[in-house]
Amino acid sequence: MERRYNSTILIVASNDRHIDFFNCTLCDEEKYVKTVVKTSNEARNLLIERTFDAVIINAPLPDEFGIELAKFVSLESESGVMLLVRNETFEEIAYSLEHYGILVVSKPVIKAVFMQTLKLALATKGRFEILEKKNQKLENKLAQIKIVNHAKWLLIQYRKMDEYQAHKYIERQAMDNRITLKEVAEGIIKKYEG
């Protein structure tokens, strides 16, 4: 299966040696578009401006440890989140962040584990996009139902129809005029409510 686009990765790391590791590991420019910042403040500002498929945070950072940034990314965006921490703090941090959907990796990092975790983070992002589309569809459907119900009650009030007749009337108008139920309902609302 072919990818639709290159994955955008935000790397938040203050240590040049770790930045080199990330750049070397993600050197396939056809797959990854990388942006590197060194502080959580820079990352937050950048995340307000644009979205990324995944955010990699190498803790600790100069202005905070990285946990708060990871939570911020998890709660405020759809990006997959990886937090790299020292092995001695891994268990505690991983346990405290697992319900945020943050993938915690212990350092030193093995390249294969890093890449597998990154792929999980990117898959998480893809899953969020699918769920967001489904959610938007449901919201649109709910909005249409509300508008159609409003129009039905106007027909009941002004045309003395029962609910079944009002519903059938709206369906028939939509079919005859080759327009959506929502468009028919909006026309009815406009007619009776101005």
DSSP conformation letters of 54-81? EEEEESPPSSS-SHHHHHHHHHH---EE
Domain total of the chain? 2
Q: Which residue has the higher pLDDT, 160 or 125?
A: 160
Backbone angles phi, psi at 78, to 5 degrees: -105, 10
SS3 123: helix
- Rg (Cα) of the chain, in Å, rounded? 25
For the domain that residue 30 is a member of, what is the CATH number?
3.40.50.2300
Range of the domain at 158: 136-193
Bridge-based pairing of strands 103-107 and 54-58 is unpaired
Q: How far apart are CA 96 and CA 27, in angstroms?
A: 32
* 48 Cβ contact partners less than 8 Å away, ≥ 6 residues apart: none
- pLDDT higher than threshold 50 for residue 93: yes
147 and 85 in a single domain? The answer is no
**Per-residue confidence band for 14, with pLDDT thresholds at 50, 70 and 90:** very high
What's the whole-model pTM score?
A: 0.75
- pLDDT higher than threshold 60 for residue 171: yes
Pick from 76-80, 105-109, 124-128, 131-135: least confident: 124-128
Q: Is residue 156 part of a domain?
A: yes
- pLDDT higher than threshold 50 for residue 34: yes
Q: Is the Cβ–Cβ distance between 74 and 99 less than 8 Å? A: no
77 and 147 in a single domain? The answer is no
**Average pLDDT score over the chain:** 93
188 and 142 in a single domain? The answer is yes
Q: Give ∠ CA 137-120-112 in degrees, rounded to 5.
A: 165
Q: At what angle do helices 87-97 and 67-76 cross, to 10 degrees?
A: 30
